[in-house]
A and B are shown apart, each in its own frame.
Chain A
Amino acid sequence: MKRFMCLVLAFLAMAAPLAFSSEESEVYRQIYKDAGSLQQKYSAVLSLVGLGDRSVAPILSEALDDLLLRQSSYSSGTDKEIYADMVKVLCRALGDYKYDDAASSLWAVVQQLRDPLARAEALISLGKIHAVDYVERVAIMLRDLDIAPGPDRLADEQVAYGCILALEKFRDVRGFMPVFYATDAWYTQRVRDQAERSLANIAADPTDPIMELIRKESAARKLLALKYNASSKAPVERKIEAALLALDVAESAGPRDKPEAKALSEVRKLALRSLIAFRSTRAEGVPLAVFAYSNGLDDEERLLALQSLGVSATDAAATALRDIILRLDADQKAGITDDTRNRMAKAAIENGALTKNHILWAALMAVSSNEKWSGGILLAAQTALKEIP
């Protein structure tokens, strides 16, 4: 039993440092308080931070406030360098300890200091401590940076990087727009890539800003916004809402030239793919799909429109497919025929089968009794009829 007890004590002695504050924190806290020069303070701060003891956060916050107050006292080159390094170390540690009482000091660093890396560290730490009172301010800062670089391009980029990470960590939908614009702003690839990665984490449901982008932005950005919609963590119903809006907007927009027409077609295709993937049954999707089928830029868009109707499988979708099949059948009987029509007819029939809706019965019967159709289409119609109750 004695041996057992001895080992228990040994275990506790090892476990204790996980929790109890160490005397080292107390000693370095005192050394910091007694330090006269900036160099001495910096040494003490490095030691305090190195301990990884959360209980030292208040003194680190005090140290940061002290530095902000005495900023003008440190004018020599060496002091300025130590000052910036010390601010960075303090900001990083306060973020790591998620010490939210330091939020206003961190924001003061962002506003008052010129060193871009210190400002970036302060921004990241604001995010880490979840200081959501600052979301709007950081979002505006990044929005302004997104537009164009100032005279010091590198410094602006470093601050922008801090803004992006802060907005990601805030996890507030207000941060979505500026980070979205950062994905194709003037920054280097590294920053744009980070914006793209961060964008996915900003909001559980970014549908509102995505829809705003779809309404207001260029076709290229509409497409980008729609891509984020497809991969967002929003509920499917919300994603469908955005996809329907994109389809609507891209159909009603009048393209100025061929490249824009192509870009809008890409938006419609992605919107249709989204509706298919999310198995949308929304009634608004039917006229939009019919429009895409009738006015699609290419066969791919028209085929996607037919597929979205088939997947929808509502009475309205089945009625739309029935009308399409009947029109194609009438054209065929009238001798109007080509490969594209045959391809569309086959797709409409196959998607009609997917609906398993009796509304399609008469149209499928009409096709199967029209001997002018090719064998493949007749077979498709007969197969589809078997699916119809």
Chain B
Amino acid sequence: MRRNCLVPCFGLSLAAFLAISCAGGPAPAAAPQKQRKERTVTVQVPVLVKETSYFADGLVDEYAIYKYDASLLVLLEKDSYDGSRPDPIERVVAEVEGGRAKAESTYGADGKLRLRREMTWDQGGRLLSERTLDQKGSVQSSSAYAYDAAGNRLEWKAFDGQGLLRAVTGYEYRDGRLVLVDMKDGAGKRTGSIAVEYDAAGLVAKRLYKAADGKLQKYEVPTYSAGRLMTLETRLADGSLVSRVAYTYGDLGQVLGSVVTDAAGAVKDRRSFEYTIRQDQKTEVYWE
């Protein structure tokens, strides 16, 4: 629940938005006699406003309230509350510049700064660098990212608080799809890799986590319904189940709930998500 990061919220909102765009947008016809035209349409965008986590018995553990600017486009703050405590047990406050968070500060129940994360972005909205500072303002770690011309992430370098390179992660793509994440330590020695396999529809079919020697450690297997991720199982190399996540969705494609169960089927984490609706004007391309 208390993620020191506001980014997942954007993920949910944008995911929902894209789903709606998919549902509402007619397929362009390829016939040469038809003309490309544009029209303005109103789309409903679910914006996450509340996330609640529950104990296994269904009672509320904690909940988080998301606060946005007036346009509901920029997430400004996430306040987490405990069932019986009137004040937030944690606040994550964003500092926004040009519509993007340039920093996020996390405060504890006592109101004191716990952690600060600072980010820089390129003009295309890609994360260029970030650094994490502790409550005393000391840099604890930092990262730098590189991209190709198409905007695909090619490399991630992770540094420690002293600026020493601790890890280099490379990304490989095939037909525009990420197929391999190659992880090395600061000295260039391989520490592991993640191979991504796709099904015929282009959806992720499996993610395989391998050790430095290439031996399979674990893998993740998703299932989909109408293009939506419904479940994700994590299994060890021998196929034994570690955990399973199941999602439910609303009419607008927004995630309404998630349930994590362990190998025995016991609920380990249950969450629900509530939204407000933003009305966006979008230009839609159609062929006539």
Query: Hey, which bits of chain A sit against chain B, CB under 8 A?
Result: 1-5, 7-12, 14-21, 23, 26-28, 30-31, 34, 39-40, 42-44, 46-47, 49-52, 54-55, 85, 92, 96-98, 128, 130, 165, 168-169, 171, 194, 197-198, 200-201
Please tell me if the beta carbons of B82 and A31 are within 8 angstroms of each other in the complex.
no
CB distance from A55 to the nearest CB of B (A): 7
Please tell me if the beta carbons of B169 and A27 are within 8 angstroms of each other in the complex.
yes
B121 at the A/B interface (Cβ < 8 Å)? no
Instruction: Provide the B90-119 mask, 1 if CB < 8 A to any CB of A, else 0.
Output: 000000000000000000000000010100
CB distance from A92 to the nearest CB of B (A): 7
Please tell me if the beta carbons of B2 and A92 are within 8 angstroms of each other in the complex.
yes
Docked complex Cα distance between A323 and B273 (Å): 62
Docked complex Cα distance between A277 and B279 (Å): 49
Instruction: Provide the B109-153 mask, 1 if CB < 8 A to any CB of A, else 0.
Output: 000000101000000000000001011000011000000000000
Question: Which single member of B4, B207, B232 contacts A50 (CB below 8 Å)?
Answer: B4
Q: Which residues does chain B contribute within 8 Å of A85, judged by CB atoms? A: 134-135
CB distance from B264 to the nearest CB of A (A): 12
Docked complex Cα distance between A43 and B22 (Å): 41
Please tell me if the beta carbons of B18 and A21 are within 8 angstroms of each other in the complex.
no
CB distance from A191 to the nearest CB of B (A): 12
Residue of B nearest to A164 (CB): B84
CB distance from B29 to the nearest CB of A (A): 9
Please tell me if the beta carbons of B8 and A18 are within 8 angstroms of each other in the complex.
yes
Known: A50-B132, A165-B85. 11 other contacts (CB 8 A): A10-B18, A11-B15, A19-B232, A23-B156, A27-B169, A43-B140, A85-B135, A98-B61, A130-B55, A171-B57, A201-B83
Residue of B nearest to A14 (CB): B15
Interface size class of B (residues with CB under 8 A): 35 or more
Q: A197 with B85: in contact, given A2-B28, A12-B229 (CB under 8 Å)?
A: yes
Q: A55 with B166: in contact, given A11-B227, A26-B209 (CB under 8 Å)?
A: no
Please tell me if the beta carbons of A130 and B141 are within 8 angstroms of each other in the complex.
no
Q: Which residues does chain B contribute within 8 Å of A128, judged by CB atoms? A: 61
CB distance from B58 to the nearest CB of A (A): 11
Please tell me if the beta carbons of A11 and B253 are within 8 angstroms of each other in the complex.
yes
Docked complex Cα distance between A28 and B166 (Å): 9
Please tell me if the beta carbons of B4 and A49 are within 8 angstroms of each other in the complex.
yes
B245 at the A/B interface (Cβ < 8 Å)? yes
24 contacts between A and B (CB under 8 A): A3-B285, A4-B25, A7-B18, A11-B227, A18-B255, A18-B258, A19-B229, A19-B245, A21-B209, A26-B194, A26-B209, A27-B167, A30-B183, A30-B192, A31-B166, A34-B166, A43-B132, A50-B117, A92-B2, A96-B1, A97-B269, A98-B55, A168-B83, A201-B83
